[in-house]
Chains A and B, each alone.
Chain A
C-alpha cells in the first residue's frame, strides 16, 4: 500500500522541567513540555476528491476527518482553523505555484506547515496522494510526499490517514506517532465486563472476549500480539492470555488463590502480577515467565500489593501500589524486589503507569483526606521520578483512574466518571486536548498498546 517510505528515527520529544514552588509547599510542581519546541501552525485543507462521485466524497470525508483528528491530537501542532483558509484548495504541488503558497503563510491563516493532497477512486482502488510543505521555506518547501492505495472502504481510508499522520508527525520531529496504536479496555456493552479493543482515536471498537464473566485489567503485550487480563470465568480469578494472532486463548497455569493485575515485562517474556497464594489475606507481587514457569515472589509486606507495572525503558524496576501503611500508596522497587521506596505519602494513590522513557509515573491520586467520608475527587497526576515533582493532569471533579501512557510518551488514556458510569478519555501530558473516546456502556481500565 505504501509506495514511498521515509524512515526517521527521532528521539523522544518529551522534556520535563521541575522547580521548587517555594518552602510553603510540601511538594514542588512539575511542568511538562511535550514537544521541546514551539508548536507549528499547521493548515490541512480537505483533500480534493473528484466532483460528482459520492463514493469518493464519502471516502474523502473519512480520510480528512481522521487526518485532522490525528494531527490535532498529536500535540505537536496548532491546527489553523479552516475558516481562515484561502479560497483555492491545492490538490497538487503545482497548485501552489505563483502566489498561492503565500496565501497560506500570510494572514489570516499564517500557517507554517501545509498538508494537502488529493483522492481518486477507480477500478475498485482508492488512491490518495498527500504532501507536507514547510511554508517558512518557500524556495524549497517540500518535506514529504506519500501515495497510498488500497480497497475503497472507509476503514482503509482511515488507515491511510493514520499512516500519513504518523509520517507527518515523524517529519515534524515528533518521533514515531501513535495513529496506528490500539487501546484495550473493559466494557460492559455486551452485558458482561469483557475485554474490548479499539483504535487509539476511539474508532473500530470490537469485542475480544466472550467469557460472560467479569474481566479486569487487560494489558497488551509488547508487540501487540497478546492481551493478558483476569477473569472469574472458571469460578476463581485467573490470568487469561488471548492471542490476537490466532484469536485463541494461550496456555497459562491456574493458581489456587487470589490473582489480579498482570503486567508484561518490556521484552514480553515475563508477567508480574498480584497474588495471595498462601491465603494469608496479603496479595503480594509475583513474577512468572509468560510460559508459566519460574514463579517467584517479590514482596513480603503483609498487605495489599497490586497493580505492578514495569519500567518500559529498562525493565529493571517495577512500580506498584501497596496499603502497607494504611491507604494505598505508590511504590517502586527493583525488578528483583529490592529497594522498595514509597513515592506518595498522603491520601490515596493507585494505578501507576510508567512513561515509555522511564522517567515519569502517571497514577490516580486523591491527595487529601484519609477518612471514610471524603469520597472526593481522584485525579490523574504525573510524577517525575528523578525529582519526585508532580503535576495534576485532570481537574474535572470526577473520579479519574487507570492512566496508561501512549508509546509516544505524549498521550495518556484514562477512565473518568462516577461508579458505574465510566468513560475513556485521552489527554496530552501537558493537560491539553482531552478527548472522550468511548460512549456506549461503562468503559474502564484502558491499556495503550506499544507501537
Chain B
C-alpha cells in the first residue's frame, strides 16, 4: 500500500504570496491576519485482496477502505468509499485504489493479484501404441499336430480361426507359416512332413478368407526345435505350424 502526501508544497507557497502583495502600500494598515484556512483532513486509502494469488479462472475478493475521502476509484473507475468486489483476472493484475478528499488531495493504495497458470489438465490417457509385432504375438497362435499327422485338429482349428480374424483385420500383415516336426524320425522325411503341416495351416487360413497371396510357407523339418528334451510334451511343442510375420524384405522374423 502506498500513501502520497502532496500538502507540503501547497502550504509553503502561501507566505511568499502574502509578501508580494504587501509591497508599495506602506501607509496601509496592516492587513488583517488572513482568515485561518480550515484544511480538510488528508484522505487515507487501503486495499487488500484475498487471496492475492489465484489460478486462472478462479476469483479473488478485493476489499478496500478509505477515510476522509469524497471519492474513491479503483483502477480509474469510481467505486464506493468502502467496499469489496470479486475479480477474476486472466493475468496478474495491479489494483490501485485512489481516495480523494474535498481538497482534491489524494491517497492511494494498491494490491496485486497474481494469476498462476492452472496445472495442465491431466493428460488424457495416452493412446497406448502397441507395436504391430507385439500385437501379432498377442493375437496369432500356432497350430499343433499329432505325431506324424498333418490334419488340423480341434485346438488347431480354434487357433487358426483366431488367426484368420486378426489377419483379416490387419490386411497389411503378410505371414510365413513354418512347418516343424519333433526329433523322431528321419530328417529328410520330416522336411516333407513339415511342408504338409505348413500348407495344411495355410489352406485352413485361406478357407477362412485370408488372401493366399499373403501367406508363404517353409518347412524346417526338425531343424529348429522349440524344445530339445526327449519327452512327449517337448515333442508336442515341436509338432507345429509356427506363424511369423513377414518382414519387408520378405524374410521371416525368428
Contact = CB atoms under 8 A, between A and B. Distances in A.
Interface of A: 193, 214, 216-217, 232, 235-237, 258, 260-261, 274, 276, 279-283, 304-307, 321, 323, 326-328, 348, 350-351, 364, 371-373, 375, 378, 401-402, 419-420, 444-445
Interface string B159-198: 0000000000000000000000001111111011101111
Contacts of B252: 235
Given A279-B217, A373-B232, A306 B189 contact: yes
A351 B188 contact: yes
Contact of A350 (B146, B189, B235): B189
Q: How large is the interface on B (under 10, 10 to 19, 20 to 34, 35 or more residues)?
A: 20 to 34
Nearest to A235: B251
Given A216-B187, A364-B186, A375-B184, 16 more contacts: A214-B223, A216-B191, A236-B218, A258-B191, A258-B192, A261-B188, A282-B196, A304-B192, A304-B196, A306-B188, A328-B189, A350-B188, A350-B189, A402-B186, A419-B183, A445-B187
A281 B191 contact: no
A304 B189 CA distance: 8
Given A323-B189, A372-B146, A420-B228, A276 B195 contact: yes
B199 A276 contact: yes
A9 B169 CA distance: 72
A411 B214 CA distance: 49
Contact of A327 (B148, B183, B196): B148
B202 interface: yes
B196 A372 contact: no
Interface in B56-89: none
Contacts of B148: 323, 326-327, 372
A350 to B, nearest CB: 4
Given A235-B250, A258-B219, A372-B232, A216 B188 contact: yes
| Across the A-B interface, the 10 shortest Cβ-Cβ residue pairs | A281-B199, A304-B192, A372-B147, A258-B195, A350-B186, A419-B183, A306-B192, A283-B192, A281-B196, A260-B191
Contact of B188 (A279, A375, A420, A445): A445
Contact of B191 (A193, A306, A348, A378): A306
B193 A304 contact: yes
B203 interface: yes
Contacts of B232: 372-373
29 contacts: A193-B223, A216-B191, A235-B250, A237-B219, A261-B191, A279-B199, A280-B199, A281-B198, A283-B196, A304-B192, A304-B195, A304-B196, A307-B188, A321-B189, A323-B189, A323-B193, A327-B148, A328-B186, A328-B189, A348-B185, A350-B185, A351-B186, A351-B189, A372-B235, A373-B232, A375-B184, A401-B187, A402-B186, A445-B187
A308 to B, nearest CB: 11
Given A235-B251, A372-B146, A279 B202 contact: yes
A281 B188 contact: no
B144 interface: no
Contacts of A260: 188, 191-192
Contacts of A372: 146-148, 232, 235
B53 interface: no
Given A235-B250, A364-B186, A283 B195 contact: yes
Nearest to A261: B188
Interface centre among B147, B195, B197, B251 (most CB of A within 10 A): B195
Contacts of A306: 188-189, 191-192
Nearest to A276: B195
A371 B185 CA distance: 12
A170 to B, nearest CB: 35
B179 to A, nearest CB: 9
Given A279-B202, A401-B186, A420-B228, A274 B192 contact: yes
Interface string B211-251: 00000011100110000101010010000000000000011
